[in-house]
Amino acid sequence: MATIPPHEDSRFGLRRQVRLTGPLRLDSGAMLGPVDIAYETYGAMNADRSNAILICHALTMDQYVASEHPVTGKPGWWWRLVGEGKPIDPARHFIVCANVIGSCLGSSGPASIDPATGEPYAMRFPVITIADMVRAQAMLLDHLGVDRLAAVIGGSMGGMQALTWPTLFPDRVESCIVIASTARHSAQNIAFHEVGRQAIMADPNWRGGDYYADGVTPGAGLAVARMAAHITYLSEAGLTEKFGRRLQGRNAKTFGFDADFQVESYLRHQGLSFVERFDANSYLYITRAMDYYDIAEDHGGSLARAFTASRARFCLVSFDTDWLYPTAESRVIVHALHASGAKASFVELSSPFGHDAFLLECPELNRVVDGFLKGGRA
């Protein structure tokens, strides 16, 4: 099958979707099957299949890492890092990015049809974990004929998947880049997610998750969840700089509860536009997966033990204004990697943008990722 040119092989290209029979045994013990995975590939596999890079996406991102989003029309979410002349370059790399299971852009999730009932799963979809997302990605790579990854890379929840990869598949990962992420969800992380979930479930339109039939979705709840989460993606200084206490389209306070302040208007907009592209139940499932995430817990309480079987090189990047997954979380990983003897690089980059920095303009990030990836070729 390696002899089929990529352009003639329907497995490769943009906007792909595959139905894998599975079943996939989930951490919960439940079986998921069939497993739909929506994905994109860029570039071509080289002859010795040594140039594959898997990109893992964050909570509300998707497979459109470097191509236009079909709903929003925006460019790929990581176009600054992925593309021609970029550190991850389809001219040199075979790039795969898949929508995580539990999500809502073509991969199996609560909005998918449950083959047992012919109805959408809704809350009957099994609870999934970050490790389950990774196992589904591995199934996809099997389907694509990718045995080994030159690199797996992700930011935020994508970083969690990237870091999980060498713990589950130590023989398949040569290098691992984890950006603005963590080895476990903290109490504060879980707390913010719980606020979001409660907002969704408190929306009368949620109806236990069974809202697909009439299309009346818990949009208000999901928007509030997004607003709360969005605050955690920004820095206090960034918010102050962007909005301060400036008023929105008016000269004075209205002594009412309209969006007087620019920051209110901005958050409302963030919430509303999110509802158009994301499924509320998926938000519940994916945040739950993140909250259950604790790599050390899965290895007898020792994070170092998780990496002992891996020979991968690791690169960790944090941002100084990220308070969602602060630098200390990356340091925990670095110390564990030292203890396990793994080759690790780590840098805290400076950015005013808080957690969102990994998605925004940061030439230093590009330099680090580029150098790290090329370092493997030396």
Partner 1 sequence: MSAPLRPDLALIARTVTVGARVLDVGCGEGALMAALRDAKQVDARGLEIDGGNVASAVGRGLSVVQGDADIDLAYYPDQSFDYAILSQTLQTTRRPDRVVEELLRIGKQAFVSFPNFAHWRGRLSLMWGGRMPVTRLLPDTWYDTLNIHHVTVDDFRALVKERGWAIDGQWFLKGDKETTHANANLFAEHAVFLLRK
Q: Which residue in the set 313, 354, 355, 356 belongs to the binding site for partner 1 (CB under 8 A)?
A: 313
27 an active-site residue?
A: no
* Nearest CB to partner 1, comparing residues 199 and 365: 365
10 an active-site residue?
A: no
Binding to partner 1, residues 238-277 (CB under 8 A)? none
Of the residues 57, 93, 185, 355, only one is catalytic, namely 355
* Nearest CB to partner 1, comparing residues 192 and 319: 319
Site string for partner 1, 339-378 (x = CB under 8 A): x-x-xxxxxxxx-------------x--xx-xxx-xxxxx
Minimum CB separation of residue 377 from partner 1 in Å reads 8
Minimum CB separation of residue 52 from partner 1 in Å reads 19
Site string for partner 1, 60-89 (x = CB under 8 A): ------------------------------
* Nearest CB to partner 1, comparing residues 42 and 314: 314
First to last CA, the chain: 30
Minimum CB separation of residue 327 from partner 1 in Å reads 9
355 an active-site residue?
A: yes
Site string for partner 1, 323-342 (x = CB under 8 A): --------x--xx--xx-x-
Minimum CB separation of residue 363 from partner 1 in Å reads 10
CB of 40 closer than 8 Å to CB of 14 = yes
* Nearest CB to partner 1, comparing residues 175 and 281: 175
* Nearest CB to partner 1, comparing residues 204 and 301: 301
Q: Can you give the binding site for partner 1, defined by CB under 8 A?
A: 313, 315, 331, 334-335, 338-339, 341, 343-350, 364, 367-368, 370-372, 374-378
Catalytic residues: 156, 322, 355
